[in-house]
Structure 1
Amino acid sequence: MSKFKIEFKWAIYYTFLGIMWFQLEKYLGFHDKNIANQPVFTNLIYIFIFGIYILFLIDKKKNYFNGIMTWQQGLISGLVLSVLAMILAPFSIYFKLKYVNPNFFEQMIHASTARGIKLENAVTVFNMKAYITLGVVDCLSFGIIFAALASALVKTKK
């Protein structure tokens, strides 16, 4: 397990970033008065998640690979981070939707139907199961992309 100590640390940071971002969205009104802009604002988190991957790989390169890391080593480390973040995602999503904003789905459904989306469609999209599924898929799919890109930036240049 100590082999993945750095990955686990950064998966925790990743998870807390998601919780803090959701809290920021709520604080800035993207869950009520600015709800129409929530889909755009929420996607800005990917910039910070990519930053997590860069910082993680710098940490891994320095403290595990002794300053020398290939693209493949970075990619594999990034994939491990992605899997750990994916495992933590359901707990993070549940926490956000249970404690940070328990009315989130109601607010999103109301905003969606006000824009002309059918109630049945909005209910299908905005529920705990759908959000957890999306969160798990996003962690893994974006994680693979971010791991590959960040590895290319952080790898040791020859």
Structure 2
Amino acid sequence: MSNSDLYDQDFVLWTETTCQQLKTRNFDELDIENLIEEIASLGGTGIKPRGCTRRELQSRLKVLMEHLLKRQYVDSEPDYRGWENTIDEKREQINLLLSESPSLKPYLESVFSDCYRYPLKKVSRNYPSVSFPQNCPFTSDILNQD
């Protein structure tokens, strides 16, 4: 598979491969066109960045978990629709990131439980009368539910 094809099929793997090629000074194998586009996007030149980062994935997962906790444990029917909309949006965004960079799936699994701490802290502070599970009640299956 060429680096240009890899860019379209798995962005994170493309970045890792490109980084290794740069470190080893294997310049003949570089995907120059996409590398230029990505570097330009870092400088805010108006070119939209193509890929995602692990940080983005974690951030979206934390928001998803927060809203799932609120929806499942907080009795506030007027808020349900907004929470459900956010849940749907974050699921879609995470699944898009994973489809663009399949190599992020093992990373997601490795940080999944750790990502629970922040949403738990946030909802516990905002809803002190609600008893939330101290251990993560979710699995990566939450990404596939409707």
Aligning the two structures, in what range does the TM-score lie when normalised by the shorter sequence?
Answer: 0.3 to 0.5
TM-score calculated relative to the size of structure 2: 0.42
The higher relative CO (CA closer than 8 Å, separation ≥ 6) is in 1
TM-score (norm 1): 0.40
- Is the radius of gyration larger for structure 1 or structure 2? 2
